[in-house]
Amino acid sequence: MTPPLLRVVEREARVFSRLWRGSVFSSLLAPLLFLGAMGVGLGGLVDERNADVAGVTYLEFVAPGLLVASVMQATAGGSLWPVLGGFKWLRTYHGVVATPVPPSALYGGLITWLSIRAAISATAFLLVAAVLGAIPSWEGVAALPVAMLCAAAFAAPFAAFTATQDTDVTFPLVIRIVVMPLFLFSGTFFPTSQLPDGLRPLIVLSPLYHAAELARAATTGHLGWGSLGHAAVLAGCLAAGAWWGRRTFTRRLST
């Protein structure tokens, strides 16, 4: 018998197979346009004036950062409005838990699917980045599980938060004060050493910073024991979000 969690993943995959065209721009084309504009365009100017950025070319520096940043943005969108739709507007989640699928399996299946979807986008991104010369090491394939872990680390708390909401009025605020600042200041476009002294200690609080450092270590062939610390932070975010999410989903769907 197929576990309930995998049933949820199968359902999400079937829906995605019909609607994937609507997400191509946000999940794939937009990150690739960023890579071309920032990595190749701006990177050409940067490389003319500096020998390297953190020991690599600017294209090699920015590509893994854009990879995980795009995963974060896509996952945030997929964990907010669609999840609230399942609770309130379409009420599909109520139909799901009317079957032998419990709320905790529904939640776990959603997080698993969002991680799989991140891997699909990340694969295409990495292939194009490799063609452009942005992936100098074969260890870059390890950026795929990093992208999945990054997606899960954000999806878990965001979906848990969504289960506590009755309207989407707070969602634009989450994007503006959480997602966008992380996108801009977590080492995606420039080394965090360039931040003001007062902000540098705070950067360790950003899950995206740890994802970017881990992905960059993979694509440049510098994975080591230090990478375990970044992975542990992401795993901690996932664990904390999962603890919260199982409870909020169960509470929301049991009333």
**pLDDT at residue 20 is higher than 90:** no
**pLDDT at residue 32 is higher than 80:** no
Within 13 Å and on the Cβ side, how many CA atoms surround 6?
3
Check residue 132 and give its pLDDT: 82
The pLDDT-based confidence of 156 (bands split at 50, 70, 90) is very high
**pLDDT at residue 206 is higher than 90:** yes
Share of the chain above pLDDT 70, in %: 89
Angle CA(128)–CA(129)–CA(133) in degrees, nearest 5? Answer: 120
Q: What is the pLDDT of residues 40-97, one digit of tens each?
A: 655 555 655 665 677 788 888 989 999 999 999 999 999 999 999 999 999 999 999 9
Angle CA(14)–CA(19)–CA(23) in degrees, nearest 5? Answer: 125
Check residue 131 and give its pLDDT: 84
Would you say the C-alpha torsion 33, 152, 234, 143 has a positive or negative sign? negative
The owner of tokens 């993943």 is 9
Ramachandran region, residue 165 (left: φ > 0; alpha: ψ -120 to 50; beta: rest): beta
Distance, CA of 71 to CA of 249 (rounded, Å): 23
What does the DSSP assignment read for 224-247?
-HHHHHHHHHHHHHHHHHHHHHHH
Largest alpha-carbon pair distance within the chain?
A: 62
**In 3-state terms, what secondary structure has residue 56?**
strand
Q: Which residue has the higher pLDDT, 3 or 53?
A: 3
pTM attached to this predicted model? 0.92
Cβ partners under 8 Å of residue 208, min gap 6? 68, 69, 72, 150, 182, 183, 186, 187, 188
Q: Give the other-Cβ count within 10 Å of 182's Cβ.
A: 23
